[in-house]
Amino acid sequence: MRRLKLFIAGLALVPILASGCSKVQTAVNRPSKNAIDTAQHQVAQSPADSGGTPEGLTRAVPDNSNAEQQVSAENQAPNSPLATSPLLADIPVQNLDSRLQEALRNYHAAADRVDRSVMAGQLTQLLDAGVPKQQIASTLGYMFRDENSVQVKTDILGELGDLDDPSAFDQIAQALDQHQPDEVRIAAIEALDSLGDKRAIPLLQPLLADRDGEVRGAAQTVTDSLNDQ
C-alpha cells in the first residue's frame, strides 16, 4: 500500500517538473531587455540607415574648388632669368647692353611660344648695331635655360649655332644634358656642327652610345665632320 502511494505521488510531480524545465529553457533563450535595447540603439546609429560616418573614418569627397584649366607648358611664359644659375661664360644680366635687357624683359612677358621664338631670332639683328656676339650668346643662353617649349629651345640653339662665335659654345653644350628632350639634344649636336668648334668632340663621345638612335646617329655624323675639318 505504501509503495502504491509513493508511485501515485511521483506521477503527480511529473507535470510540475516538466513545467519548471520549460520555464527555465524559455528564460535561457529569451534575450534580456537590456540586450534588446542595446541592439536597437546600434541599429539606429548604423551609417547605412542614418547616413552618418563611423568615428575614425572620413568620407572621400572630391574637392574641385581649386580646379583650373591647365595651360600647356609649350605656351607658358618662362621664368625670370635672374632665377637661373648662370654659366661661367655668362655675362651678368645687369652688364648686358640695355637693348638686350629690354629684349629679355619682353621675352619673359610673352605668353606665346611663337612670339618668344621670333624674339630670340631678332637678337642677331643687333650685331649690325654694334652689340658684341658674346653678349648676344649670353642672352640666348638665359632664354634657353628659362624656356619651357621644346620648339623654342631648338630655335634658340639654331641661333647660337649661326652666331659663329666661340662664346656660343658653352651655351650650346649645356643642351647636351641627358635630362633634356632628345629633340633638344639633337638640335644642340647640329648647332655644334654649325659652330665648327672641335671642343665638341669629347662632349659627343658619350652620345655615341646614347639610348636614342637618332641622338647616336647625329653624334656620329657631327664627330666625323669635326674630325675632318
**The residue to which cell 652688364 is assigned:** 95
pLDDT in the model for residue 46: 44
Q: What share of the chain in percent tops pLDDT 90?
A: 60
Indicate if the pLDDT at residue 63 is higher than 50: no
Range name among 55-64, 142-151, 187-196 with the lowest pLDDT average:
55-64
Stretch 183-202: mean pLDDT: 97
**What integer best gives the mean pLDDT of the chain?**
77
Q: Which of 47-61, 65-79, 92-106 has the highest mean pLDDT?
A: 92-106
pLDDT in the model for residue 72: 53
pLDDT tier at 87, thresholds 50, 70, 90: confident
- Other Cβ atoms less than 10 A from the Cβ of 41: the count is 9
Closest CA to 167 of 107, 88, 81, 80: 88
Q: Which residue has the higher pLDDT, 176 or 29?
A: 176
Sequence-distant (≥ 6) Cβ neighbours of residue 153 within 8 angstroms = 144, 147, 175, 180, 181, 184, 187
The pTM is what?
A: 0.66
Helix (H) or strand (E) holding 159: helix 150-163
- Other Cβ atoms less than 10 A from the Cβ of 67: the count is 8
Whether domain 81-228 has CATH 2.30.30.230: the reply is no
pLDDT in the model for residue 69: 43
